[in-house]
Amino acid sequence: MLRKSKLKDIFEKTAKEIKNADSVSVLDNIRFQCLGRKKGLITSVLRNLKNLSIKEKREIGPLIQKIQKELKKLFDEKEKELSKKTEKNISDITLPAQKIQAGHFHPLAKVEKEIKEIFSSMSFSVVEGPEIETEYNNFDALNIPPNHPARDMWDTFWLKPTNSKEQIINNKNRKLLLRTHTSPVQVRYMQTHKPPFQIIAPGRAFRYEATDAFHETNFYQVEGLMVGEKISLANLKFIIEEFLKKFFDDPKMEFRFVPSYFPFVEPGIQVDIRMEKLSVGHKLSVGHKKSDWLEIMGAGMVHPNVFKAVGYDSLKWQGFAFGMGLDRLAMLKYKISDIRLFHSGDLRFINQI
Q: Assess 262 for contact with ligand DAH (CB under 6 A).
A: yes
- Contact (CB, 8 A) for 60 and 2: yes
Q: For ligand DAH, which residue of 124, 139, 307, 322 counts as binding (CB under 6 A)?
A: 322
Pairing state of beta strands 157-158 and 176-178? Answer: antiparallel
Q: Assess 303 for contact with ligand DAH (CB under 6 A).
A: no
Rounded distance between C-alpha atoms, residue 110 and residue 123, angstroms: 20
Which amino acid, one-letter code, is at 331? M
Rounded distance between C-alpha atoms, residue 10 and residue 102, angstroms: 59
- Contact (CB, 8 A) for 155 and 180: yes
Q: Which of 83, 78, 69 is nearest to 30 (CA)?
A: 78
- Contact (CB, 8 A) for 292 and 274: yes
* Residue showing the smallest CB distance to ligand DAH in the complex: 323
Give me the least distance between CB of 303 and ligand DAH, in Å please.
9
Q: Can 265 be counted among the known catalytic residues?
A: yes
Secondary structure element (H or E) that encloses residue 300, with its range: strand 294-302
Instruction: Give me the catalytic one of 31, 179, 207, 328.
Output: 207
Using the rule CB under 6 A, give the single segment among 75-83, 242-250, 319-327, 343-351 that binds ligand DAH. Answer: 319-327
- Contact (CB, 8 A) for 318 and 228: yes
Instruction: Give me the catalytic one of 309, 321, 328, 330.
Output: 321
Q: Can 104 be counted among the known catalytic residues?
A: no
Give me the least distance between CB of 353 and ligand DAH, in Å please.
25
Nearer residue to ligand DAH within complex by CB, 14 or 156: 156
Q: Which of 53, 77, 49 is nearest to 64 (CA)?
A: 49
Rounded distance between C-alpha atoms, residue 291 and residue 184, angstroms: 34
Q: Can 221 be counted among the known catalytic residues?
A: yes
Rounded distance between C-alpha atoms, residue 41 and residue 37, angstroms: 9
Per rule CB under 6 A, count of chain residues that contact ligand DAH: 11
**String of contacts with ligand DAH for each residue 72-111, x by CB under 6 A:** ----------------------------------------
Instruction: Give me the catalytic one of 31, 181, 188, 328.
Output: 181
Q: For ligand DAH, which residue of 107, 184, 203, 300 counts as binding (CB under 6 A)?
A: 300
- Contact (CB, 8 A) for 42 and 35: yes
Q: In this structure, what DSSP letter does residue 94 have?
A: T
Bridge partner residues of 238 (DSSP): none
Bridge partner residues of 228 (DSSP): 318
Give me the least distance between CB of 127 and ligand DAH, in Å please.
14
Q: For ligand DAH, which residue of 21, 42, 71, 265 counts as binding (CB under 6 A)?
A: 265
Give me the least distance between CB of 149 and ligand DAH, in Å please.
15
Among positions 221-250, residues that touch ligand DAH (CB under 6 A) are 223
**String of contacts with ligand DAH for each residue 164-203, x by CB under 6 A:** -----------------x-x--------------------
Q: Active-site positions? A: 154, 181, 207, 221, 265, 321
**Which residues contribute to the site for ligand DAH (CB under 6 A)?**
181, 183, 223, 262, 265, 298-300, 321-323
